[in-house]
Structure 1
Amino acid sequence: MSQSYLNVGENREETTEGREIFNKLVMRCFFQDFQKDALTKEIIGCKMHDTVHDFVQFLTQNECFTMEATSTRGIETSSANDTTKPRPGDKVRHLTLMFADEDDFPSSIVNCEILRTLATFDSRITSIDSNLIRRLKRLRTLNLSRNLIWKVPEEIGDLMHLRYIDLSRNFVLRELPDSVCNLYSLQTLRLDGCEQLAKLPDNMGKLINLKHLHVDGCRALRYLPKGIGSIRNLRTLDWLHLAHLDDDVVFDQNDSPFIFMKATPSILPPLGKLPSLKVLKLRGIFRLEEIGGEFFGVEETSSSSFPSLETLVLDYLRKFEKWELGRAEAEDSCNSQMKSISIMPRLSSLYIVACHKLKELPDFLLQNAPLQNLLIRSCYSLGSLPDEFISPIPNVSIIGSGVDPFIKGRKIDYDPSED
């Protein structure tokens, strides 16, 4: 996506096209050693066969280079078909740096002005040179994951072609500069495992093309910018992990640009208003007690909530007890306008794991959700589910919960030893 390799029409999404291309390459044995998400079973990691890798490097030898930092803090290059390891020339578009620390970062060894991809692997970079950033005018993909970066320079906001940023697993990164909000072309922002990241920039709503936001494992993140609710292209909001909220935190919503994520009482962002959100995963929000009307973004003038949501994951919400639509359910049944509100009309996969106090599912879900996949695991307080809700679902797995594992002779997966 970030390199514009996907040729899609007006009615087709890049993510769908990219997934199909990837699956075709899988069928042709381009990849191996697959890693799958434990819940969704989607492929989240793989390897390329050495022979395939070498052949691809041969085909792209003038555009793709790997640099390895030596023990003397020098740089050497590698190419699949070149044993002399020449220095990369002016045609290099995609650069990978391996085994580097801060002093090894190449600011002059390549023509940075034409780079489209810059990535590091097995490196320990602590900061990014602002002078280098200024030269990366055509960069589209920036992968600096698993380093020790503690600060991102303001100059990153000048990279107007940047579409993909991966800063995940930089454990000492505390914040992003406000200039990140100037990256109007940005599609994907990965911040997984940035444990000390305490806030996101105020003006995130300016990222009008942002489609995927990953904040799994951002334990210090206590709120999301209110502007996130206006990112109409947002499709994935991956894990809100707020394990370390303090009881004495005070927050005034009227004076702050943030939506506070503290769950007692309260309040989740009105994510139901996001028209393009397809995947939502909430995990480890330990103080979350209920999901109500604020989360769905339901108002009297609303016609739908979560209109595009396809996958919902609720995982390890240990105090989560009440799940309802809220104000809309309390409305007079004669109010036809409120009755016509559509809630999660495209939800096909629902995964509820380790929500020990959840007692029942909301009525809108039991009556109307077009589910294809249902996983309920370790939800000990959850009562019986109607047969008319369970029976039409093709793939059902109920493990370690209060739900009857036998429904009209149909045996649902149930193995107490897995609890």
Structure 2
Amino acid sequence: MADSLFCIADSLVAKLASHAFTEASRIVGVYNDLEDINHTLSIVKALLLDAERRCRVDEAVREWLRQLQWIFNDAQDLMDEIDYAAKQKQVTKLHGSCSVITKVGRFLSSRSNPLFFRFKMAERIKQVKGMLDKVAADRDRFGLRMVLDDNRVVHTRETTHSHVNASDVIGRESDRERILELLMENGCKSVLSIVGFAGVGKTTLAKLVFNDVRIADFFTLKIWVCASDCYCYNHDYGESFNIKHVISKIIDSLNCSTSGGFANALGKVDMEVLKNQLKDKLGNKKFILILDDVSLIDRIQWAELRDLIWLGAAEGSKILVTTQSLKVASIMGSISPHHVLDCLSEQDSLSLFVKWAFKEEAERRYPDLMEIAKDITKKCHGNPLALVTLASSLFGNFDKDKWTHLRDSEIWKGKGRLSSSAVDISYDQLPSYLKQCFALFSLYPISYVFDSFHVAELWSALGLLPLENNNQILKHGLNQYLNELHSRSFLEDFVDYGTGFTFKLHGLVHDYAKSVARTYSQIITSPYPGSGHHRNIRNASFVGNDVTTISPTARTILFPIAGVGANTIDFLNALASRCKYLRFLDLSDSTYETLPQSIGNLKHLRYLSLENNKSFKKLPDSICRLYNLEVLILSGCTELEAFPKGLGNLISLRHLEITTKLHVLPEDEIARLSSLLNLRIESCKNLKCLFAKTRLPSLRVLVVSGCSTLSSLPLDTEHFPLLDTLVVDNCDKLELSEGHSDRNSNLRLKVLHFVSLPNLVSLPQWLQGSMKTLQYLLVSSCTNVVVLPEWLPTMDCIKTLYITNCPNLLSLPNDMHRFATIECFVIDGYPELFRNSQLHVGECSHQQTTIDETAEIEEVG
């Protein structure tokens, strides 16, 4: 909890200091009132670093943290209301004046009177400041001290060693053989990485390799270094790799020192002495060095360490690294691809569990226990550390009730032995900002396929992303946290589809997310009582539509199961009237015809989705008062017949998705959406033309999909001056080349998808304007494409090129081999056509080519 509160405190301090919020507080007249809060917040933030250490063993500190959580919530809501009031004034100033009667009415109204609002906000600021002062003063009562960043505890695992009993290892034979093959096939000095999640067996595999007799025959020297205790923390650089410590441990290993001679005298030994000692000990011999559990290293540190190691190395020497981080493996320049260690199969999992739970062959006498063992191993999801930990706890115990109790116990739901042994190591090493984000995965069912857009918007709505990224498009800003989680092996089945990512969570990781978030985020599987243990839930996910009321503390409401949405009016009215601090509302697959007027009171709302609501007909005008709304999703609302008056007042809206039965969109209102970055127009069956006289100056991403009657779409910088991602999909009558002049060459696209466009014969000439910017091109299911233009290979930046299901494509450009930057080229169904193209992508080690007669590329947008 302290980790997440530290992150919240950090974001509050950052927001108070931001230029945008400073201006907002000046506009509503409370700037001076907020000055004292910043100082107190900084004190509390420093106390949280000590509370992080104490809360695990001290219930009083945990209670102090729970009080602080509510105070921080109040502070966040207070800042939101100040933001909202400033935006309300901005809308009034930009989008029209009021009559004298209206202005007088507003002044007399306690709700909109600026003087009354300023007085009310000043009182609330005073209350929050008083509560913060109180918890800060309580530090003496709890013995908390202010801790600076450079004294933070660095979480590490226990030091590892090289010994292993090979008979205890199950299911790693093929992995061992592959690693040995890679280590011994190449005659040059190189690095190989074993990458995988905590507890999956990376260290064990490295030990198997290290102790294999073939290694002893092939290498003159063998060196084992546990890297996890070679880190230090300082104020300027944070956690960093201590190169001097690593070199010292290598020398001690070569000296067969058990007392840590050089490692224990780091402050007394000069680096030059260490360098000479290392070079002398290695003696230009061929060696293998295991660097076990490298969690963090930057390129400069690695370059320095690598050069020192190679200084005394003979050709053929190898470094074998184990790490949870793909980023670390990439930095250390390991042989590509890295060896990614998967979880054990169900059969191997059961064999390992049985080995540690029973004496040799004793399992044959306990068939009932074996059935329970099968259930337990399935819940371990193939993680060897979890399997061994749980099996060992049952060793010598043949009481069926105890085995059943373990199978059905709370450790599968809470932070018990399973999660502590298998995932705590990785979770503790996460930065605090990532811990908050990670916990929200608990709102989705196991095996859920996540889309980066949806996840990033949830994080953004709850204020968990850096302020500076809020105005960047998804591909270039909002997904940076996902990349970091992926690099640490928290995510699997990670697929890049050009405009975003899809991924899954390992079952063990999903269980852990539920355990760390259980006090404030839950999946609701039964009618929500709005009281009892649910009353303080801030993030609620419903896996059924049997819902009644909801807690007023809710910040998030969503329905993650496809086809399952809310269907009761009482629930809709309750959340619109009671949940005044709601920030993320996903009503996908619901059955409502409209929303209540009270929806306009949700002034904190950032995200609203009515996706695939087949009954929805209109939005109330009150929705245009949601000045903080950033995402509005109406795709799949096939019966939508009216847009609200004043849609352009949504000045924070940056993502809009539309499906409607209208013949014409409210283009003038859309053009007033000054923050709009992403626009998706989907399944609008009656639209014939779009944006002929409308300019969208801030738009970066445009998706037009399933508009079967659309015939006109201007694609030029006059209409879309900043457009860099374009997806056109399943538009039968659209002619992309007709009527376009050279002015279209000003477009600077980076991502382009053409899918199911029967009028497309070749790529349009205006695409040449993106010669120096286009990186990702997909042409799929365009049945009348006959030829690709000869200028295509001259595109300077293309990294990914997909050509799929274009049966009439007769030839590729002659100079396809000229692609200098291509990393992935996929063409399905035409091996002869590919061979004739003379594209030899495989000549460069970083490039990949696929020719697949049956391949199916996901159509996205």
Following the alignment from structure 1 to structure 2, what is the Cα–Cα distance between the partners of residues 49 and 4?
26
Q: Distance in 2 between matches of 1:197 and 1:242?
A: 10
**1:313 shift after superposition:** 1.2
- Which residue in the other structure is 1:358 paired with? 760
Name the structure 2 match of 1:158: 601
1:5 matches 2:407: no
CA distance in 2, matches of 1:344, 1:175: 35
Deviations 1:276-311 (A, max 9, x none): 22221112222223434xx6473xxxxxx4232221
Local SS of the residue matching 1:407: coil
Secondary structure of the corresponding residue to residue 608 of structure 2: strand
Structure 2 equivalent of residue 249 of structure 1: none
**CA apart distance, 1:88:** 2.5
Residues 315, 353 of structure 1: 8 Å contact kept: yes
Write the mapping of 1:9-408 to structure 2, written as runs, cut at 5 A.
9=468, 13=472, 15=474, 16-33=476-493, 37=497, 40=498, 42-44=500-502, 46-69=503-526, 74-75=527-528, 87-89=533-535, 91-101=536-546, 104-107=547-550, 110=551, 112=552, 114-121=553-560, 122-127=564-569, 128-215=571-658, 218=659, 220-226=661-667, 227-243=669-685, 245=686, 261=687, 263=688, 267-270=689-692, 273-292=695-714, 296=716, 298=718, 305-324=719-738, 326=740, 343-345=746-748, 347-359=749-761, 361-369=763-771, 370-382=773-785, 384-392=787-795, 393-399=798-804, 400=806, 401-402=808-809, 404-408=811-815
In 1, distance between residues paired with 2:826 and 2:559? 45
Cα distance change on mapping 1:355 and 1:99 into 2, 3 Å: closer
Cα contact 1:126–1:147 (8 A) shared by 2? no
Offset from partner CA, 1:74-104 (integer Å, 9 cap, x none): 5479xxxxxxx96234x43222233233xx3
Greater strand fraction, Structure 1 or Structure 2:
1
Deviations 1:358-404 (A, max 9, x none): 34554432244421222223434446444233332343333425463
Q: CA-to-partner distance for each residue in 1:307-343, whole Å, 9 max, x for gaps?
A: 32221111122122353565x65xxxxxxxxx7x873
Cα-to-partner distance string for 1:213-270 (whole Å, 9 max, x where unaligned): 123xx36343321210121221111233223x3xxxxxxxxxxxxxxx3x2xxx3125
Q: CA deviation at 1:161?
A: 0.7
Within 2, Cα distance between the matches of 1:56 and 1:210? 30
1:321 touches 1:359 (CA, 8 Å); kept in 2?
A: no
- Contact between 1:198 and 1:222, CA under 8 Å: does it hold in 2? no
Bigger radius of gyration, 1 or 2?
A: 2
TM-score normalised by structure 1 residue count: 0.74
Letter in 2 for 1:117: T
- What does residue 75 of structure 2 align with? none
Q: CA deviation at 1:350?
A: 1.5
In structure 2, give the amino acid aligned to 1:163.
R
In structure 2, relative to structure 1, the CA distance for the partners of 1:325 and 1:373 (3 Å cut) is farther
Task: Provide the C-alpha distance between the structure 2 equivalents of 1:28 and 1:272, rounded to a whole number of angstroms.
Answer: 45
Aligned-pair CA distance for 1:203: 2.1
Number of residue pairs matched by the alignment: 356
SS in 1 for 2:612: coil
Distance in structure 2 (CA, Å) of the matches to 1:383 and 1:168: 37
Give the aligned residue type for 2:737: W
Describe the superposition over 1:33-84 as per-residue Cα deviations: whole angstroms up to 9, x where unpaired: 55765xx37324x443343333333333332233322xxxx5479xxxxxxx
Structure 2: how far apart are the matches of 1:52 and 1:92? 22
Per the normalisation by structure 2, the TM-score is 0.38
| Distance of 1:21 and 1:271 partners within structure 2 | 39
Question: Cα offset for 1:116?
Answer: 1.3
Classify the secondary structure of the residue corresponding to 1:351: strand
- Whole-Å Cα distance in 1 between the matches of residues 511 and 781 of structure 2? 46
Distance 2:645 2:557 in 1: 27
Tell me the residue number matched to 2:173.
Answer: none
Q: Is the 8 A contact 1:123 1:147 kept in 2?
A: yes
For structure 1, the residue ranges without an aligned partner over 5 or more in a row are 78-84, 246-260, 299-304, 330-338
Take 2:645 and 2:470, find their aligned partners in 1: how far apart are those partners?
A: 32
8 Å contact from structure 2 (residues 737, 765) kept in 1 = no
**Secondary structure in structure 2 of the residue aligned to 1:352:** strand
Q: Percent identity?
A: 28
Cα offset for 1:10?
7.8
Tell me if structure 2 keeps the 8 A contact 1:2–1:140: yes
The CA distance in 2 between the partners of 1:390 and 1:118, in whole Å, is 48
CA gap 1:290/1:86 in 2 versus in 1, 3 angstroms: closer
Kept in 1: contact 2:747–2:769 (CA 8 A): no
